[in-house]
Amino acid sequence: MEPFTQLSGIVAPVDRVNVDTDAIIPKQFLKRIERSGFGQFLFYEWRFDENGEVNPHFEPNKPRYQGASILLTRANFGCGSSREHAPWALLDYGFKVIIAPSFADIFYNNCFKNGILPIQLSEELVDQLFQKVYQKEGYTLTVNLEENKITDSEGLSIPFEVDPYRRECLLRGLDDIGISLKYENEIRSYEEQIPSYYSIK
């Protein structure tokens, strides 16, 4: 997992509440066994019409949002099933930051484990950001995890809070495996002390 310190990127809006994981990545696309390649199916039933054509009415499909790396959305994002494919799809598509008033707990945890920074802001601040996104084409935010701050080129400055442990893991690019490997020497030392008759042969 790559370290996350700071990101400047275009903001794309999904102005809907209770976006569940089946909307993020529909169940028919869960047959892949690797983590990559899910981005093409992100928000599939919204991004495409029944004929498989790009839906021009779905906001992130508009040219002004192409290449966006920050997703702005509404309350209870990531609700529904616990599938880890949802953050895989978001990350593979290019989103590295998600801003919302609230997230479903399991989805929220899965984001950190996969290198995505989910940021919770008040409804009022989220409304303010939606207005800026709609008013200015190519609206860009800078998210600084070292300073826990969101800024733009117009003087906006919004502090945000992240659990210190999760923040440290993102800053250092550590997922669950990476965290375990930090204690590789201690694990090896412990295993060397285990009597041989406990060893698996």
CATH number for 48:
3.20.19.10
Give the span between the Cα atoms of 25 and 39, in whole angstroms: 9
pLDDT tens by residue, 174-194:
975 555 445 456 655 655 666
In total, how many domains does the chain have? 1
Residue 74 lies in a domain: yes
Question: What's the pTM value of the predicted model, to 2 decimals?
Answer: 0.88
30 lies in a domain? yes
> Does residue 181 fall inside a structural domain?
no
Question: What's the pLDDT score for residue 34?
Answer: 80
| CA contacts within 13 A on the Cβ side of 41 | 20
Distance, in Å, from the CA atom of 63 to the CA atom of 80, rounded to the nearest integer, reads 30
Q: Is residue 39 part of a domain?
A: yes
Dist. CA 142–CA 114, nearest whole Å: 20
Residue listed under structure tokens 């800026």? 132
Give mean pLDDT, residues 130-144: 98
Q: What percent of the chain has pLDDT over 70?
A: 87
Which residues constitute the domain of residue 43? 6-173
Q: Is 112 exposed, middle or buried (0-12, 13-18, 19+ CB in 10 A)?
A: buried
Give the model's pLDDT for residue 189.
63
